[in-house]
Structure 1
Amino acid sequence: MNSHPKIIFNPCENKENQYIAILVNGLEKHGYDVNRLDDFLSSSKHFQSVKLLHLNWFENLDDSSAASMWKSYFRKLVVLAAVKFGKKKLVWTMHNRLSHEKKSGKLSRALTQKIVSQADAIVIHSTVSKEILQSQYPNLHTKIVHIPHPDFVDVYGPMISENTDKKGTKLKLLFLGAIKPYKNIELLIEVAKKFPEAVHLTIAGNPNSEAYRSDLQKLAEGASNISLQLKFIQDADLSKFIHESDLLILPYSMESSLNSGTVILGFSYGRTVICPKIGTIDDLGAGEDVFDYRYSSQAEHLQALEKQVQIAIKLHQSNPTSLIEKGHRMRDLVQKKNNKQDVTDSLIKLYESLLN
């Protein structure tokens, strides 16, 4: 293998998620020449020089309009055809059970099938992903490579030293991340309203539309224990938001969610979570250090979420530092199981096996 193989990692940058930066920086340090997908077909020379493409979220389509969706779909088909024609190695990371975007679901599934059939390797971040893939594509096991999601320890700055005097304070819950309908923010607001004296909820992140922002503001109106920070949270402020909470609360959809970088982020900065038992939670095997739950309907989700909040309130009132202690144990656990250096090393090992 050349000392500086040229690859495409897509996307190769993402201002909203340091996951990409962790992996791309690790690859570049190892000598990989990481390029953008947009330049793949820029010239014959460049096309020929690229040896491997690694695609993330490639199955997601622009569903802002029907025209945009179809344009996005056909552009991606062209990329896959070029990969096949050029005999490039193809790696795809499976991040979700299915696309979160409802309008483009059918096309997204068709695109996923094409990616899966063409990929030389499929990276998964949780064990349950393998079961899902094999139930849909029974002969796929040789392509699947389990590499954990990297930790975010110190990526957004160092941990802030703890103030352990939490006596008599409300339980501070935090939702952090992009504000999208599949994340069940409405459910969260409904639950927080049930505990006006015991809970303070902060929802921090940028809504995916002005209409959705307006809907959430109306829902939270009059609830003095809910603070809406509906804006893009800068990297420099993330650790501060997490530090000011006792617990992250992330009521994701079990229908589409599989892995969560925000769960790993919370653990990396010493906070545990209330969250459905998605793949990320399942793999860590954290036991009572995580407030996880399952549900099979929206009504069940509301009940399960409310129950976990009640458990957390009781614990917070009886032992104010217990939640912080759980969070710190989770930080130790992700440093072992999701160590970012180990993750990068595993990815490099995979590339080398494909390129040699």
Structure 2
Amino acid sequence: MTPSTKIIFNPCENKENQYIAILVNGLEKHGFDVSKLDDFLSSGEHFRSIQLVHLNWFENLDDSSRQSMWKSYFRKLVVLAAVKFGKKKLVWTMHNRLSHEKKSGKLSRALTRKLVSQAHAVVIHSAVSEEILRGQYPTLQAKIVHIPHPDFMDVYGPMIPEDRENRSSPLKLLFLGAIKPYKNIELLIEVAKRFSEEVQLTVAGNPNSSSYREELEKSAQGADNISLDLKFIPDEELPNYIHQSDLLILPYSLESSLNSGTVILGFSYGRTVICPRIGTIDDLDAGEDVFDYSYSTESEHLEALEKQIKTAIKLHQNDSNSLIEKGHRMQNLVLKNNNKQEVVHRLVELYGSLLQ
């Protein structure tokens, strides 16, 4: 491996998620020349120069229409064929149990099988991912590499100092992130309505469609304790949103969700979470500093969510700083277990082992 090793990291930029910037910037500091996947076949010279291709969320397809879905699928098959033909090293990061896009489920699973069979390494961000992969692909063991999700400390700006003297009721809950159906926002709104006096819920993020925006606005209509900031939230505003909350609430789908950058974001800025016990939560093993839960049905999900909100309300009423203290302990844990410099270092080591 040389200081100017040419690789593709896809996507190499994402305005809605600094996860990509952390890794790409870190790789470039270690001497890697990072290119876009779109440029992979731009010229024979460029194609030959690429030594390694690292794909993220590659199994997700454009399901806006049947035609778009099939076009997306075949384009990705061409990319994988080019990687194989060119004898490039292939790395795939497993982010989710399943694709979140329901319409393209079968094609997405077929693409995932292709990725797994062709990859020289499969990066996972949580231990449970290995169990899932080994269950589906028993011979995969040697390819699996566990590298934690990087922390977001100071990535979106400095953390705002706490004002512990003026924390008061009601309990301020925050949902933050892209607004998509699998994140169960409707369920969250339904539960929040039951706590009209004790809870103030803010939902902040950009809906994936105008129809879904209208659906959520209709759902929250008449609920004075629910604020919908349904728009893209600029990076520099994220610390303030988090600072104004007592904790984040993220009722993700256990069927598809496995890792969560928003959970890591909340911890990085000193807030704990109410969240199903997905892989990100499981790995940190934080005990009572996280309000995690499990469920099998939608009704069980609603009950579990309501129960954890009640627990948080009681703690907040007894000591308005107790939730903040939990958040700060989670921040220390993430800075230790998910240190972004160490994450990049381990990725560089992986690339080195594949390219030697």
The residue that corresponds to 1:133 in the other structure is 133
Alignment of 1:198-209 (within 5 A): 198-209=198-209
What corresponds to 2:331 in structure 1?
Answer: 331
Aligned to 1:289: 289
Note if 1:20 corresponds to 2:20.
yes
SS at match of 1:173: strand
Unaligned runs of 5+ in 1: none
- Does the CA contact (< 8 Å) of 1:95 and 1:124 recur in 2? yes
SS at match of 1:129: helix
Q: 1:59 and 2:79 equivalent?
A: no
* Aligned counterparts of 1:290 and 1:168: Cα–Cα separation in 2: 21
Q: Tell me, in whole angstroms, the C-alpha distance in 2 between the residues paired with 1:232 and 1:299.
A: 31
Match of 1:210, as an amino acid? S
- Is the Cα contact below 8 Å between 1:166 and 1:321 reproduced in 2? no
Distance 1:115 1:156 in 2: 32
Deviation (angstroms), 1:13 = 0.2
Deviations 1:178-205 (A, max 9, x none): 0000000001001100000000000000
Instruction: Report how far residue 230 of structure 1 moved.
Output: 0.1
Q: Relative to 1, partners in 2 of residues 1:15 and 1:168: Cα closer, same or farther, differing over 3 Å? A: closer
* 1:9 to 2:5 alignment: no
State the match for 1:252 in structure 2: 252
**1:152·1:268 contact (CA, 8 Å) conserved in 2?**
yes
Residues 168 and 41 (structure 1 numbering): CA distance in 2 closer, same or farther, change over 3 Å? closer
What CA distance in whole angstroms lies between the structure 1 residues aligned with 2:261 and 2:167? 31
Cα deviation, residue 166, structure 1: 4.4
CA positional deviation for 1:2:
2.0
The one-character-per-residue Cα deviations of 1:280-302 (angstroms, maximum 9, x if unpaired) are 00000100000000000000000
Q: Measure the CA separation in 1 of the matches of 2:199 and 2:279.
A: 28
CA RMSD of aligned residues (A): 0.6
Counterpart-to-counterpart distance in 2, 1:86 and 1:154? 39
Give the aligned residue type for 2:337. K
Question: Normalization by structure 2: what TM-score?
Answer: 0.99
- Post-superposition Cα deviations, 1:53-110, rounded to whole Å, max 9, x if no partner, equal 0000000000011010000000000000000000000000000000000000110000
Separation in 2, partners of 1:319, 1:115: 50
Identity over aligned pairs, percent: 76
- Corresponding letter in the other structure for 2:78: V
Native 8 Å contact 1:59 1:112 kept in 2 = yes
Say which SS state the counterpart of residue 202 (structure 2) adopts. Answer: strand
The Cα shift of 1:155 comes to 0.4
SS in structure 1 of the partner of residue 165 of structure 2 = coil
Q: Report what 2:103 is aligned to.
A: 103
Partner SS state of residue 174, structure 1: strand
Q: CA deviation at 1:311?
A: 0.1
1:277 aligns with 2:277: yes
Matched, 1:154 2:154: yes
Structure 1 runs (4+) deviating above 2 angstroms are 165-168
Number of matched residues? 356
